[in-house]
Amino acid sequence: MKLKHIVTTGLSAAVVLTSLYAAQVAAQDEQFFPLLVYRTGPYAPNGIPAANGAVDYFKLINERDGGINGVKITWEECEFQYNTKQGVECYERLKNKGPTGATIVFPWSTGVTYQLIPKAAVDEIPLHSMGYGQTAAADGRVFKWAFNFPTTYWSQASALIRYVGAQEEGMENLAGKKIALVHHNSAYGKEPIPTLQVLSEKFGYDLTILAVDHPGQEQKATWLQIRRLKPDWIFMWGWGVMNQVAVKEAAAINFPMDHFIGVWWSGSEADVIPAGDAAIGYKAANFHGVGAGFAVHDDIVEHVYGGDAEAARANNLGEVLYNRGMTGSMFAVEAVRTAQAKYGNKSLTGAEARWGMENLDLTEERLAEIGLEGFTRPLKVSCEDHETMGPVFIQQWDGAKWNQVSEWIEPMRDVVRPMIEEAAAAFAAENNVTPRDCSMEG
Amino acid sequence: MEILNAFFVSPFVDMAEYPVFFAEVVANGFLTGIMYSLVALGFVLIFKASETFNFAQGVMVLFAALTLVGLQERGVPTWLAIGITVGVMVLLAMAIEKVMLRPLVNQDPFILFMATIGLTFFLEGFGETLWGSNVKRLDVGIPERPLEVPLGGDFMLLNEFDLWAAGIGAVMVLGLALFFHRTTIGRALRAVADDHQAAMAVGISLRTIWVVVWSVSGVVALVAGIMWGAKSGVQFSLSLIALKALPVLILGGLTSVPGAIVGGLIIGIGEKIGEVYWGPLVGGAIENWFAYVLALIFLLFRPQGLFGERIIERV
């Protein structure tokens, strides 16, 4: 009887103490981010560096700055193997975690983005599909909760055409040229097609569209068609193993690699290293710096890895997709900082973070302050424009590393923005969304 | 009328007008088909000996390639790395026999099939834990130059690597045929395939046969892993190559080595012709499902596959 009493009292005390501790922890200001990652599965070689970059930047902010204005960043990874269904499950599992729920969700997949756009609007959680996802989400009047800055697939497609025009010494010289698009046969891979078709009519080039089924391990038939077609330029909207095989197949038919340009998801180290020397000269678009030569990388080595540069490199520091993951986290941190200026330095809700996203004004000076001078272009998000239509540049593989080989290229806003507004209006009509009046937004 | 013309006339006119290109499509399909056969062979070997559809065959390809490239990255010379990997695959076969097959002996084949699903996920996770998930470059010294083969005043473009792969595949098949028909253990294996009970009654050790078959299947997986891994880099998606072997198996039958070869060639050539000549008419990317359609058409006429054993049951 006595023993039972002692055990009961002990357990009660433990429960009370645990509750008190939990309450104290919850009372501390923290900003929770769910991280949908794919460190396993067929796309793991792409998912690992992106996830490492995203996490390292959060760690840096906590370690170096003590959080965002004193508010610690917390996060939880959820493995979804780049599978849309699992990605949605991850979102559902994590959306209510943290003191104020999810701050911003990064879907890291166009398929997942499409699924989450209606859900996030109901849950009042902002989505940031950085340079991927549904392009029409650039129209913030219709897509209040979705953001895709700094640029989209449609903008990128127009920038690629502008680049090819420059290489051909004038846009007028595009007439009669043959351009082939080799794309992943998915929602993601099909995104640039409308833009390339519109521009084909405008500039008179012949566009051939060739789809490659998931995963893209065997593409011989596609490249036989290309060999027969003899295009002047090839664009690739690929992902995962499809990229590596395509680079090899292009080399196998003696296609000039400097006329083969990948989307920014087809331009990582993992896409070219397996092809060896065959990949030399291959190009890809990008919207952020390459390599680990920026001040922020030095800070990461110092504060996250305790000065162990080797350990940082082993965790992909400076690789293209590492930098991309880092860029996504940087945008999120700056958006929260923007929102804190209005709502105070506390744990923000998704709605408050959304305001921060929509009012984000990342200037050249601010980029320099956070160690990212020249890393990406300044941007200013607005109620109407959730994309900002940022410029892109072309990088080229030299057999050992990627090098920036072009200036920043502006997308064709006059062509792309009307298309975005048209697509957004169609979405609004289809889904009974009343576009916002941005003049009424605070 | 236009649609009928596009589907039933134009492709054939195209083939006739550009015979060298058509020959190139067929040649590339042939070479790819041999690569499919390599993967399908692993399935056939195990099914012949244990009537088990080895769901883990694809991941065995990945595991073997990961082991090989992992050793290479640690400075082991290629020839030695291949030898060690063969040893690893034999050890794996012994472990599978002891831990998975022996306790399940005389169980329904479906139970064994389920066990191979478990094996798939184990090997996947174990391989990634051991060697990491990053893409690895695999280079075993096979040249990859494009070759111009003169034909009818024009030329076909073939990849030297594909020719080597076809040659190695052919040697592999010949070796397996000799192994099955000319060696004692091969004959024992065929006896087990015909009737487990009868084979055991005449003193054939089922355990030894299983170890041998899973080992040979592991070696076949290694060869397939080298060939496919050299093309795409060694990474998780290498295991998905098993999906390309399924229509080959439907077509060639699960119990026939020649079936795996001929099936692979038909699927390889068929899907390339389908994609190049009919793919553009329907938006492309048809080769994956076209292979299954092709296999299912054959299945309508020969349910046991091209060379599979005829299913006769008394009632």
- As for the ipTM of the complex, it is 0.88
- CB contact under 8 Å between A220 and B238, yes or no, is no
Check: CB of residue B255 under 8 Å from CB of residue B47. yes
- Cα–Cα distances (Å) from A108 to A46, A48, A130, B197, in that order, read 11, 12, 8, 55
pLDDT for residue B101: 86
Contacts of residue A224, Cβ cutoff 8 Å, sequence gap at least 6? B21, B24, B25, B28, B272, B276
Which residues in chain A have their CB less than 8 angstroms from residue B233's CB? Answer: 241, 244, 270, 273-275
> Is residue B146 within 8 Å of residue A254, measured between CB atoms?
yes
Helix pair angle (A320-343, A350-358), 10° resolution: 110
CA pair distance A175, A223, nearest whole angstrom:
24
* Per-residue pLDDT at A371: 96
Q: In Å, how far are A84, A116, A134, A411 from A91, measured between CA atoms?
A: 11, 8, 18, 32
Name the residue in chain B with its Cα closest to that of A208: B280
Residues A390-419: what's their mean pLDDT? 96
Interface test with B, best of A182, A220, A322 (most B CBs within 10 A): A220
Q: CA B216, CA B185: separation in Å to the nearest integer?
A: 12
Tokens found for residue A37: 């990652």
**Contact B233/A274, CB-based, under 8 Å?**
yes
Burial per residue of B209-220, b for 16 or more beta-carbon CB atoms within 10 angstroms, e otherwise: bbbbbbbbbbbb
Query: Position of tokens 């087809």?
Result: A266
Smallest Cα–Cα separation from A401: which of A280, A307, A240, A241?
A280
- CA distances A69 to A66, A345, B286, Å, are 7, 6, 54
Mean pLDDT of A149-178: 97
> How many residues are recorded in chain A?
442
A220–B contact, CB cutoff 8 A: yes
Contact A57, A323 (CB under 8 A): no
**Contact between chains at A241 and B272 (C-beta distance less than 8 A):** no
Q: Which residues contact A310 (CB under 8 A, 6 or more apart)?
A: none
In A, which residues are within 8 Å of B125 by CB distance? 40
Place of tokens 């504060």: A303
- Mark yes or no for CB contact A274/B279 under 8 Å: no
User: What is the nearest CA distance from B272 to chain A, expressed in angstroms?
Assistant: 5
Q: For A249, which residue in chain B has the nearest alpha carbon?
A: B231
| Cα(B49)–Cα(B195) distance, integer angstroms | 9
In this predicted structure, what is the pLDDT of residue B283?
86
> How many CB pairs lie under 8 A apart between chains A and B?
116
In DSSP notation, A25-91 reads HHHS-EEEEEEEE-SSSTTHHHHHHHHHHHHHHHHHHHHHHSSBTTBEEEEEEEE-TT-HHHHHHHH
* Confidence (pLDDT) at A208: 96
**R_g over Cα of chain A:** 23
Length of chain B: 315
* Interatomic CA distance for residues A175 and B21, integer angstroms: 27
Q: How many other CB atoms sit within 10 Å of the CB of residue A267?
A: 26
Peptide bond into B11 cis (omega under 30): no
The proportion of chain A whose per-residue pLDDT surpasses 70, expressed as a percent, equals 93
Q: What are the C-alpha distances in Å from B159 to residues A227, B39, B257?
A: 13, 20, 26
At residue A207, what are phi and psi to the nearest 5 degrees?
-105, 125
A392, A286 Cβ separation under 8 angstroms = yes
Domain range list for chain B? 2-301
pLDDT at A10: 62
How is residue A2 written in tokens?
A: 């006595």
Q: How confident is the model at residue A15 (pLDDT cuts 50, 70, 90)?
A: low
Q: What pLDDT score does A77 carry?
A: 97
Which positions in chain A touch B28 (Cβ < 8 Å)? 220-221, 224
Three-state SS at B298: helix
pLDDT at B200: 84
Distance, in angstroms, between B236 CA and closest chain A CA? Answer: 5
Cis check for the bond before A194: say yes or no (omega within 30 of 0): no
Distance CA B143, CA B124 (A): 30
The Cα A64–Cα A227 span in angstroms is: 53
How many whole angstroms separate alpha carbon A439 and alpha carbon A436? Answer: 9
Amino acid, res. A415 = V
Tell me the torsion sign for CA atoms B156, B157, B160, B165. negative
Per-residue pLDDT, averaged over A281-296, amounts to 96
Q: Is there a contact between A248 and B244 if contact means CB atoms under 8 Å apart?
A: no
Q: List, in order of start, the domains of chain A with CATH numbers.
A: 30-153+291-391+419-440 (3.40.50.2300), 155-288+395-406 (3.40.50.2300)
Whether residue B42 contacts residue B309, with contact meaning beta carbons closer than 8 Å, is answered with no
| pLDDT higher than threshold 60 for residue A1 | no
Q: Can you tell me the distance from the alpha carbon of A304 to that of A307, in angstroms, rounded to the nearest whole number?
A: 8
Interface test with B, best of A241, A249, A257, A266 (most B CBs within 10 A): A241
pLDDT of B180 reads 80
Q: Dihedral, CA atoms, A249, A255, A257, A258, nearest 10 degrees?
A: -150
The span from the CA of A190 to the CA of B130, in Å, is 36
pLDDT in tens, chain B (315 residues): 788 999 999 999 999 999 999 999 999 999 999 989 988 988 988 888 777 899 999 999 999 999 999 999 999 999 999 999 999 999 999 999 999 988 887 788 889 899 999 999 999 889 888 888 888 999 888 888 888 999 888 889 998 999 998 899 888 888 887 888 888 888 888 888 777 788 888 888 888 888 999 999 999 999 999 999 998 889 888 888 888 889 998 888 888 888 888 999 999 999 999 999 999 998 888 888 888 998 888 888 888 778 766 666 666
Q: Which residue has the higher pLDDT, A28 or A211?
A: A211
Per-residue pLDDT tens over the stretch A202-232? 999 999 999 999 888 889 999 999 999 999 9
- What residues contact B184, with CB distance under 8 A and at least 6 apart? none
Say if CB A246 and CB A215 are below 8 A apart.
no
DSSP state of A348: P
State residue A47's pLDDT score: 94
- Give the C-alpha separation, B11 to B275, whole Å: 11
What is the model's pLDDT at position A195? 96
- Phi and psi torsions of A319, nearest 5°: -70, 160
Residues A103-116 have pLDDT tens digits of 999 999 989 999 99
Query: DSSP 3-state helix, strand, coil percentages of chain B (rounded to 5)?
Result: 75, 5, 20
Q: Nearest CA to B56 among B93, B22, B27, B19? A: B93
pLDDT score of A25: 47
First to last CA, chain A: 66
**From start to end of A291-353, where are the E strands?**
none
223-282 in chain B: CB under 8 A from chain A? 228, 231-238, 240-241, 244, 271-272, 274-276, 279-280
Q: What is the pLDDT of residues A55-87, one digit of tens each?
A: 999 999 999 999 999 999 999 999 999 999 999
B111 near A CB under 8 A: no
φ and ψ of B155, to 5 deg: -145, 150
pLDDT at site A27: 46
Task: Specify the CATH architecture of the domain B2-301.
Answer: Orthogonal Bundle (1.10)
For residue A276, the chain B residues in CB contact (below 8 A) are 137, 139
Contact B157 A225 (CB under 8 A): no
Query: Cα separation of A122 and A116, whole Å?
Result: 10
Chain centre to alpha carbon of residue A1: 62
A222 — contact with chain B (CB < 8 Å)? Answer: yes
Which tokens belong to A230?
């003899």
B218 Cβ contact list (under 8 Å, min separation 6): B60, B64, B86, B89, B90, B92, B93
Return the number of other C-beta atoms located less than 10 Å from residue A440's C-beta: 7
Contact B137 A273 (CB under 8 A): yes
User: Contact, B56 vs B101, CB < 8 A?
Assistant: no
